[in-house]
Amino acid sequence: MSENGDKSSVHPLWLRLIHWFNAAAVIVLILSGWRIYNATRFMHLRVPFTGEALFPNRWTIGGWLGGAIQWHFAAIWVLFASAVFYILLFLLTRRGKQFLPVTPSGLWADIKAFLKGKLSHADIRQYNTIQKLAYLFAMADLVVLIASGLVLWKSVQFGWLRVLLGGYEAARYIHFYAMCGIVAFIVIHVVMAVLVPKTIKAMLWGR
Amino acid sequence: MTPDIKNDEEAILKEANHLLKDPAKRRLLGNVLTLGGLSLATGITISHYGSVNEILKAVSRFNDGAQGVIFNPNALAPTYSEADIKHPFPFNAFYSVDKAPVVDGEKFRLELSGKIADRRPWDLQHLHALPYTEQITRHICVEGWSAIGRWGGVVFSEFLKRVGADTTCKYVGFKCADGYFTSIDMPTALHSQTLLAFTFDGQLLPAKYGFPMKLRMPTKLGYKNPKHIVEIFVTNVYPGGYWEDLGYNWFGGS
């Protein structure tokens, strides 16, 4: 049930606002981050088939390293603000209940249903266990992205975090892999949303 | 390394195409597409593109302030052992290594200006006689890579004290023999690991690493660490910097 008394609303307004601000910020962060990565391509990855070095500049934003950094460090404030509001409202409302608990038996039931092609999202107020795990993964991955990003940005000021993540160079890899994780989440999330269009409507207009 | 001007042109053209899709703007263009109208149209395009740039620059300046608040003058950058030193240490500048400036050590004088009580120039002999300390620290480049090196010289705050610099000022600026220039905040200038370095790996700084001296700050990114310093000044007027004026973040601190 919704918190604001509007029983027909799937997602309250605050959540929808946070979702779209967050989505915009994360996309800007990814695309500008690719341009920043291009300044030193330490993973030596290539685009399948074309063989171009990842990430082709036309996929990125910022125009050059300095521009990409400006975009990255502007979008980070939007992500930061949306994260703060989300955590606050997550704690103040009972939204967290949607994602918990996650139980092994629930997961097993979902896997079986998935294999039979019967895993559904008919009631969009209810998340199945795989969905819960996917959203919890996205939240945890964003925490890892922010933590590793803080180390790359301020490895001296956040010395304890640098030590926790295994040093500056380790943080580069963690930041990169966590980026891959969020990109994978976004791809699956968008495909799933398109497959169940009413979820998109709910995230736009609340129902 | 060099800002990609071509991409900026592309961005402007893209922006122009985007504007042309807007019916109102297209009508305007239709009305003004004369000799004078063309420049007006260009003006619209550039100011529109410029406004995004201005916002991003403003956020970057805001981030300078935020970093000043986060900066803890007592937080020390980690130090490493001899075995961690990167050989050969990477060269990086806005030109290739063979273009590194050749400075005549005999004739060299370090100029001081701005809010400094004793602005007499320094020759290398006197600079090298200053109390000497070394550090093995990680140099982090804005491009993402990092390398550990060993630098030696005088603690910069000690030097500032000797020349009677007004440390209540906001900025310390640097002019370099290769035309490079940059500036830093006073708290970082006074940080205990900020060195006016004359040696690299126990040897007099070679030209490629910044002879006759560089400012070594393990709390700042590489482009904030000026090489080939020929003049140091203290000021309250924001001096900017070579890369900073092109768009790199001014504080640039870690």
Q: State whether B60 and A70 contact (CB < 8 Å).
A: yes
Sequence-distant (6+) residues with CB within 8 A of A24 are A75, A78
Strand order from edge to edge, sheet including B229-235:
B111-114, B229-235, B171-176, B181-185
Neighbours of B6 (CB within 10 A): 10
In the predicted model, what is the mean pLDDT of residues B212-223? Answer: 98
pLDDT of residue B14: 54
What is the ipTM, given to two decimal places?
0.90
Of all residues in chain B, the one with the smallest CA distance to A168 is: B146
pLDDT of residue B139: 98
Residue-wise DSSP of A143-184: HHHHHHHHHHH-TTTTHHHHHHTTSHHHHHHHHHHHHHHHHH
Q: Contact A74/A33 with Cβ under 8 angstroms?
A: no
Neighbours of A48 (CB within 10 A): 8
pLDDT of residue A96: 79
Question: Which residues of B touch chain A, with CB atoms under 8 Å apart?
Answer: 1, 3-4, 7-8, 10-11, 55-57, 59-60, 63, 67, 70-72, 75-78, 138, 140-146, 218-219, 243, 246-249, 253-254
pLDDT along chain A (207 residues), means of 10: 54 94 98 98 94 96 97 98 93 84 90 87 86 95 98 98 98 98 98 94 92
pLDDT of residue B37: 42
In the predicted model, what is the mean pLDDT of residues B82-103? Answer: 96
- The yes-or-no verdict on residue B155 having pLDDT over 60 is yes
3-class DSSP assignment, residue A193: helix
**Does pTM surpass 0.90?**
no
Q: Contact B19/B44 with Cβ under 8 angstroms?
A: yes
Which residues of chain B lie closer than 8 angstroms to A73, CB-CB? 59-60, 63, 249
Task: Please state, in angstroms and rounded to a whole number, the distance separating the CA atoms of residues B57 and B241.
Answer: 14
3-class DSSP assignment, residue B22: coil
pLDDT of residue A27: 98
pLDDT band at B4 (very low <50, low <70, confident <90, very high): very low
Q: Contact B127/B110 with Cβ under 8 angstroms?
A: yes
Q: State whether A73 and B59 contact (CB < 8 Å).
A: yes
Q: Point out the least confidently predicted range of A79-93, B59-73, B141-155.
A: A79-93
Contact residues, A window 106-165, toward B, CB-based 8 Å cutoff: 153-157, 159, 162
3-class DSSP assignment, residue A117: coil
pLDDT of residue A101: 86
Q: Identify the residue with better confidence: B18 or B106.
A: B106
Q: Contact A85/A93 with Cβ under 8 angstroms?
A: no
Burial of A113 (0-12, 13-18, 19+ CB in 10 A): middle
In the predicted model, what is the mean pLDDT of residues B109-136? Answer: 98
- Helix, strand, coil: what percent of chain B each, to 5? 40, 25, 40
Q: Which amino acid is at A85?
A: F
Q: Which amino acid is at B97?
A: V
Q: Which amino acid is at A139?
A: M
Q: How many CB pairs under 8 A join A and B?
A: 88
Contact residues, A window 171-190, toward B, CB-based 8 Å cutoff: 172
Q: State whether B3 and A64 contact (CB < 8 Å).
A: yes
pLDDT of residue B10: 54
Task: Please state, in angstroms and rounded to a whole number, the distance separating the CA atoms of residues B240 and B250.
Answer: 7
Task: Please state, in angstroms and rounded to a whole number, the distance separating the CA atoms of residues B149 and B172.
Answer: 24
